[in-house]
Amino acid sequence: MILLLKDITFVKLMKKPLFLAFLGAVVGISMGFISITKWIKLEALPNTVVAQVNHMNILRVEYEKALRLLASEKRDPLTDKDRALVLERLIEEELLVQHGLSVGLMRSDHRLRGAMIESLIEGITVEYQAIQGTEFSADNKFDGVSQGTILGDYVEQLRNTANISRVK
């Protein structure tokens, strides 16, 4: 009999519009909170990272380099506003880079593509020099090995790990 009385009370409450509105609000707020906690990353960024844009890190060394550049151009010491501005510019730059990549700019703009390839070649050369502990000679050779051979070996390693299909 007691169970039946409780069931009748619950049914009466369910018929009241105010109670239903309250119940809906509680459910909605709960679901919103769950959604927000999944959307917001609650974990802290590593010390080497100052910001993250679409899961791409803006490194502290890049930020500090930009701050040094700004400081060298200013007479007064950097303010918090200057630091915030530098960070915002780095974030905006990353957004533009990501957009450029998403619309295929690297493939369609030949000047940009050429600059990227030149930068990669220079990076490979610098990396090789750092590993060997010396620089190339005037004729672009290191211990008799040409820079072209080193780059060719690097490209061959890339080919070995790539999935390449050709039209017959």
Q: For the chain, which residues make up each domain, given as ranges?
A: 2-39
The closest alpha carbon to 155, from 134, 114, 124, belongs to 124
Q: How confident is the model at residue 85 (pLDDT cuts 50, 70, 90)?
A: very high
What's the confidence (pLDDT) of residue 56?
92
Which of the 8 DSSP states describes residue 146? Answer: E
List, in sequence order, every beta strand (DSSP E) within the chain: 49-53, 56-59, 141-142, 145-146
pLDDT at position 145 is 65
Q: What is the reported pLDDT for 87?
A: 95
- Inform me whether the pLDDT recorded for 34 exceeds 80: no
The 3-state DSSP class for residue 57 equals strand
Average pLDDT value for the chain: 80
Measure CA 153 to chain center.
Answer: 30
Residue 7 banded pLDDT, cuts 50, 70, 90: low
Distances from the Cα of 3 to the Cα of 8, 15, 48, angstroms: 9, 19, 61
Beta-carbon neighbour count of residue 58 at 10 Å?
19
Burial class (CB in 10 A: 0-12, 13-18, 19+), 87: middle
More confident position, 84 or 149: 84
- Segment 91-150, tens digit of pLDDT: 999 999 999 989 998 889 899 889 988 898 888 877 877 776 666 565 556 566 677 777
* Residue 81 confidence (pLDDT) above 80: yes
Q: For position 22, what pLDDT does the model report?
A: 67
